[in-house]
Amino acid sequence: MILILKPELDSESEDRVLDRLHELGINAQIVRTSGRAVVILKSDVSEEPNHRFTQIEGVVKAVRLSPGYSLASSIKNKSIAIVASAAGYSQKQSLIGSGHMPLVMAGPCAVESAEQILEVAAAVKDAGASVLRAGAFKPRTSPYEFQGLGEEGLEYLKEASKQTGLPIVTEVLSPDKVETVAEFADILQIGTRNMYNYELLREAGRLGRPVLLKRGMSATIDELLYAAEYVLKEGNEQVILCERGIRTFESRMRNTLDLSAVPLLKSLSGLPVVVDPSHATGLRAMVRPMARAAIACGADGLLLEVHDRPEQSISDAEQAIDPGELASVVKDMVSIVLALGLGAGSGDSEESTVEENALGAVAPCASVRTLSESI
């Protein structure tokens, strides 16, 4: 870390800065540049917050040389096995991450009834999805909106998983529900509104189940990785990051899908990154083109809202596609992966060959590899 000092600080004040650092057990050196003095910290302070230093009298800015999420940034080419264990299956159904065909997680916004979720589960499986997604607990802006079926919804999801063999991803809203949801879910989803809910992140970390972590609607890339760090720090490395659109001034779509987050995240951490074009755009007709773009820039998977009768959905119907459109998206995805030559075996994958997913091992885009160095 480097500390920039106030302009024209006298030498006594400079000494006081060094003394204070010494008290904190930090080895430091003052270097002079044109008209300004800076302090170079020789000790490793990567886990210290910036304000520990900026509060020292005479310091105006602390420049961090490497990000503070040391676990997230040290993970390389992670791949995660997804198993429908909640429904009693024991073999891994799919692998997500480095070297694997992108994974499709699809399903309705909310579980509405047993019949609905069983029908949709069968339909998304037929269309090529590998994981069933649906909400039993729904966070809603208005207290008057449908808040989900709760545990009843979780039971229906388990039944759908039993019948189809599809693993389940569903959202958990508070720390005290993590264990309950984990009895039914194979991937715990931390939603965009909860990305800063650190107690929830810790609980999800402790449980050791794969976690799908959605970027907060106005979270920076660094904050998303710090959120992942909370899970990782509990010893759980099974974190899937999800870009789902950020809040900007543009109002024609619900959010602005930040696809550049995909190569950027992959350059900063080896965790898998998936994209949710449904929530990002909020418009059915945008889902397919943005899903294509997500795959083309290197996403490890897609999270898609699918309803068998979108017009009768009780939540977020504007963005749900039908199973036929899902099949088209899956077909596009495979075409793009093949076209870009991503299907070949790759030294990046942890295992030399994988056949779990539709097409086997894929190599990440070469040009992304050089990104981490330039940031």
Residue (24 or 83) nearer to a copy of itself, CB: 24
247 binds a copy of itself (CB under 8 A): yes
Q: Residue 4 or residue 118: which is nearer to a copy of itself going by CB?
A: 4
Structure tokens at 352: 């030399």
Query: Among residue numbers 261 through 300, which ones bind a copy of itself (CB under 8 A)?
Result: 262-264, 267, 280-281, 283-290, 292-298
CB under 8 A: which stretch of 88-96, 110-118, 181-189, 242-250 binds a copy of itself? Answer: 242-250
Restricting to residues 22-61, name those near a copy of itself by CB under 8 A. Answer: 29, 31-36, 38, 40-49, 51-52, 54-57, 60
Check residue 155 for interaction with a copy of itself (CB under 8 A). Answer: no
Q: What are 63's two structure tokens?
A: 């420049």
308 interacts with a copy of itself by CB under 8 A? no
Please give the structure tokens belonging to residue 251: 């109002």
Site for a copy of itself in 70-129 (CB under 8 A): none
The two three-digit tokens of residue 66, written as one number: 């490497």
371 interacts with a copy of itself by CB under 8 A: yes
Burial code (b: 16+ CB inside 10 Å, e: under 16) for 129-154 equals: bbbbbbbbbbeeeeeeeebbbeeebb
d(CA 140, CA 316): 11
Of residues 180 through 209, those in contact with a copy of itself by CB under 8 A are 193-194, 196-200, 202
Out of 18, 81, 253, 363, name the contact with a copy of itself by CB under 8 A: 253
| Segment interacting with a copy of itself (CB under 8 A) among 96-104, 156-164, 252-260, 353-361 | 252-260
One-character DSSP codes across 144-159: TS----THHHHHHHHH
Contacting range for a copy of itself; rule: CB under 8 A; set: 86-94, 124-132, 152-160, 173-181? 173-181
Q: Which of 176, 179, 183, 355 binds a copy of itself (CB under 8 A)?
A: 176
Instruction: Give 79: exposed, middle or buried? Use CB within 10 Å, 0-12, 13-18, 19+.
Output: buried
Q: Please name the residues in contact with 44: beta carbons below 8 A apart, sequence gap of 6 or more.
A: none
Q: Which residues of 224-254 are buried (b: 16+ CB within 10 A; e: fewer)?
A: bbbbbbbbbeeebbbbbbbbbbbeeeeeebb
CB 361 within 8 A of CB 100: yes
144 vs 347, beta carbon nearer a copy of itself: 144
Considering the complex, state which of residue 27 and residue 352 has its C-beta at the smaller distance from a copy of itself: 27
By CB under 8 A, residue 351 contacts a copy of itself: no
CB of 75 to a copy of itself, least distance (A): 15
Interface pick for a copy of itself out of 11, 90, 251, 353 (rule CB under 8 A) = 251
- Closest to 271 (Cα-Cα) out of 105, 73, 91: 73
Number of residues lying near a copy of itself (CB under 8 A): 127
- Min dist CB 85 to a copy of itself, Å, is 27
What distance in Å separates the CA atoms of residue 85 and residue 87, rounded to the nearest whole number? 5
